[in-house]
Amino acid sequence: MTINKKAITNALLLVLTALIFIWIGLKTDWTATLKALVSADLKWMGASVFIMIFAHWLRGYRWNMLTAPAGYPLNAKRSFYAVMSGYLINVATSRGGEVVRCAVAAKTEKAPTDLLIGTVVTERLVDMLMLLLVCFTGLLVEFQHIYVFFDSFILTPLSKLATLPNVIMIMALLTVGVLFVRFRKNKKSDKAPGKLATLLSGFSKGLKTIFALENPALFFLYSAGIWFCYMLSGYCLLQSLPVTNHMGIGSAISLLIFSAVGIAIPLPAGAGLWGAISFGLQAVYALSAKDAETFGIFNLAYQNLFSIIVGGICYMLMMMEMRKIKTA
């Protein structure tokens, strides 16, 4: 009997997520939450949805800028469908959407999946740089507020990790890795490259596409545009609820940082999002626990519904595109 480790891991994540949501449910004042949600301003929510769709369209278009230098330009419409299909899968599997996004695009664009995965990893690295820029901007704009969050979630954990034994262990692992790669490279072999070597070659090619961009300035402009849209969408959500509509654009930058930290926690349906946002609003802006939890649940529900509805529609449209291509 073979043990499917991936299935067990996904099952454990789903159980953990269920327990987290049960804990959220028991801890939340649902009467106050429902009262706040009923009074939500639909105009601000509609603006947030529109801005978020535009942000993901930019993400799909930016993806094409990475795949084109490798000889696989993506259709703008289908790349957007693929991106949104990935977000739909992420609701259930946390990180599985990235692989599904590449697999779906590979079928319609006839591009190698391993290369597409390499380009997505490159995207994520660029997004990390953009997040660092957002964090720096947040510190400049809201330093007196946001430092508390940075100290609790980033500086203190990093200081605990940056001990001498950990540094020595990391350096040793890196040294062993470099020596192993050099040994493999120097070892002569007449054998044809195996499947793993071919996959790694395609993945590496995808990673390197950022160095072959036709217009690097435009690529980073689109990257900044994506994160600017995320911030504007978050501002609209803050304005949607009476408990947070007093918060300004600086608070939207902080919200973006809270959200990024929450999303980084690998739990399905964005379960980590609620905790990071609720804690951030309480610790940084002194919101009451009830108001912070109300917005945290509202934001979590909004994100999941957006991914399910818009992602579901895009997934169906993508399937229709596949049928058209197949019949053609």
Given this model, what pLDDT does residue 46 score?
94
Q: What is the mean pLDDT of each run of 10 residues along the chain (328 residues)?
A: 59 60 58 70 94 96 91 90 89 76 86 86 88 81 67 64 61 65 57 54 72 89 94 94 89 85 64 76 83 85 86 90 82
For 217-259, give the DSSP string: HHHHHHHHHHHHHHHHHHHHHHHHSTTTTT--HHHHHHHHHHH
pLDDT value at residue 182: 63
| pLDDT of res. 218 | 94
Please check whether residue 29 is in contact with residue 290, taking contact to mean a CB–CB distance below 8 angstroms: yes
Question: pTM of the predicted model, to two decimals?
Answer: 0.75
Q: Provide the domain limits for residue 273.
A: 33-162+214-327
In this structure, is residue 11 part of a structural domain? Answer: no
Give residue 9's pLDDT: 60
Q: What is the pLDDT of residue 313?
A: 92
Q: What is the pLDDT of residue 278?
A: 83
195 lies in some domain: no
CA dihedral 309, 127, 104, 116 (to 10 degrees): 180
196 inside domain: no
Nearest alpha carbon to residue 88 among 311, 269, 263, 302? 311
Q: What is the pLDDT of residue 192?
A: 46
**Does residue 18 fall inside a structural domain?**
no
Does residue 50 lie in a domain region? yes
**Any domain includes 8:** no
The CA distance from 152 to 172, in Å, is 29
Assigned domain for 3 exists: no
pLDDT score of 53 = 96
Establish if 15 belongs to a structural domain. Answer: no
Number of domains comprising the chain: 1
